[in-house]
């Protein structure tokens, strides 16, 4: 399926508003909900070169980026406007997308020695200026696609590294075996993207866990919105409280778990619970979150042993096993992970 950073329940709220000054935003949200977002996964091809009489596989870890412009149509991929090794262009949206793809590639290679999102050098392509006032950004299995936003609620998506890394991480999850996009496994799918979205930003900024904002999508709202981001791992439920968008519905613990048939069983809502568990583990361990807590989560996701319908408890158990393998059963890292999952109510005291 095709993922989008802005959940459908937010777009529905905007589409339903009758505030005159948000008429353009309402129309934009309606178009966004109806616009096509087909999912079609692409696989990397082996890069080969010839040196003398020898055929050589190229394994140097470097991104291969191509940015296209849809010119506000819904036709993909659009016209190529910047490729790898070309200088920045006049359109800052193009340059932001190019840089964000590269920064995400750099994070995964530097932190986990992962060569692109599939681990095999998948080219990173993106299309900007998709549709008219399009209020979303998404990964469709082949490329990142960015709308420009309506200007009244959303101001654009290419300037947020957490948005770009979040969406590309859906590709990492899919390449690692995937998680069903429904209920708890779907919420884990979203949470994993949030986790590595914020870790990419933290790595890029050189932040420790206590220095980071832990926000996903900071900066994509206009000044008219009462809110700081789409989601907060530090404090789920506090990212926005707006008269049009409503209040951030994410729970931080299982006590607030939302039973719903909307949003594929609340995948963008209940993801706040595993999000907060990661935040608690990372801040308890301290230091640079991608180095320890992030490594535990990364190895859990990419081990190929998670069932596609994994529950929160299944995932929690898996992170504990990875932590024990990496750091020892009596380590502070294991204690931090266990305490985090019990703190959000996914595991009971003494459960591992």
CA-nearest of 158, 159, 153, 147 to 32 is: 147
Q: Residues near 58 by Cβ (< 8 Å), separated by ≥ 6?
A: 47, 48, 49
Structure tokens at 122: 């998948």
Q: What is the phi/psi pair of residue 328, to 5°?
A: 100, 145
Q: Residues 167, 174, 190, 201: which is the catalytic one?
A: 167
Angstrom distance (rounded) from CA 19 to CA 52 = 69
CA distances from 175 to 40, 119, 270, 274, 301 (A): 13, 8, 23, 21, 10
**Cα 291 from Cα 271, distance rounded (Å):** 22
Residue with tokens 């082996």: 46
Select from 196, 166, 161, 162 the least CA-distant residue to 293. 196
Q: Which residue has the tokens 């087909």?
A: 38
CA distance 229 to 225: 10
Active-site residue 268, yes or no?
yes
Secondary structure (H, E, C), 172-229: HHHHCCCCCCCHHHHHHHHHHHHHHHHHHHHHHHCCCCCCCCCEECCCCECCCCCECC
* CB burial readout 213-234, b (16+ within 10 A) else e: bbbbbbebbeeebebbbbbbbb
Q: Is 329 known to be catalytic?
A: no
Kindly name the residue from 170, 268, 276, 333 that is annotated as catalytic.
268
What SS3 class is residue 49?
A: strand
The closest of 200, 198, 205 to 111, measured between CA atoms, is 200
Give the residue numbers annotated as catalytic, written as ranges. Answer: 167, 268
């Amino acid at each position: 399926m095709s993922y989008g950073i802005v959940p459908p329940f937010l777009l529905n709220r905007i589409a339903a508003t009758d505030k005159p000054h948000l008429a353009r935003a309402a129309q934009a949200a309606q178009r966004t909900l109806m616009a096509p977002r087909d999912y079609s996964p692409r696989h990397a091809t082996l890069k080969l070169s010839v040196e003398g009489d020898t055929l050589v596989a190229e394994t140097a870890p470097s991104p291969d980026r191509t940015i296209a412009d849809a010119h506000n149509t819904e036709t993909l991929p659009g016209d190529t406007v910047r490729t790898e090794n070309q200088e920045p262009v006049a359109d800052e949206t193009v340059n932001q997308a190019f840089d964000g793809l590269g920064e995400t590639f750099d994070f995964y290679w530097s932190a986990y020695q992962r060569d692109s999102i599939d681990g095999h050098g998948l080219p990173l392509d993106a299309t900007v200026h998709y549709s008219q006032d399009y209020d979303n950004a998404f990964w469709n299995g082949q490329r990142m696609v960015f709308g420009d936003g309506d200007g009244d609620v959303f101001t654009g998506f290419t300037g947020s590294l957490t948005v770009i890394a979040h969406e590309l991480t859906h590709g990492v999850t899919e390449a690692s075996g995937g998680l069903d996009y429904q209920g708890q496994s779907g919420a884990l799918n979203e949470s994993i993207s949030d986790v590595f979205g914020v870790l990419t930003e933290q790595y890029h900024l050189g932040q420790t866990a206590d220095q980071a904002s832990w926000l996903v999508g900071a900066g994509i709202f206009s000044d008219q919105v009462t809110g700081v981001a789409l989601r907060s791992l530090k404090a789920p439920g506090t990212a926005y409280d707006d008269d049009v968008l409503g209040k951030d519905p994410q729970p931080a613990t299982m006590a607030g778990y939302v039973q719903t048939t909307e949003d594929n069983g609340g995948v963008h809502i209940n993801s706040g619970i595993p999000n907060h568990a990661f935040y608690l583990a990372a801040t308890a361990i301290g230091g640079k979150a991608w180095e320890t807590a992030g490594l535990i989560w990364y190895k859990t996701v990419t081990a190929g042993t998670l069932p596609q319908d994994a529950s929160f408890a299944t995932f929690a158990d898996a992170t504990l096993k990875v932590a024990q393998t990496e750091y020892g059963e009596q380590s502070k890292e294991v204690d931090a992970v266990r305490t985090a999952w019990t703190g959000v109510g996914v595991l009971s005291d003494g459960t591992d």
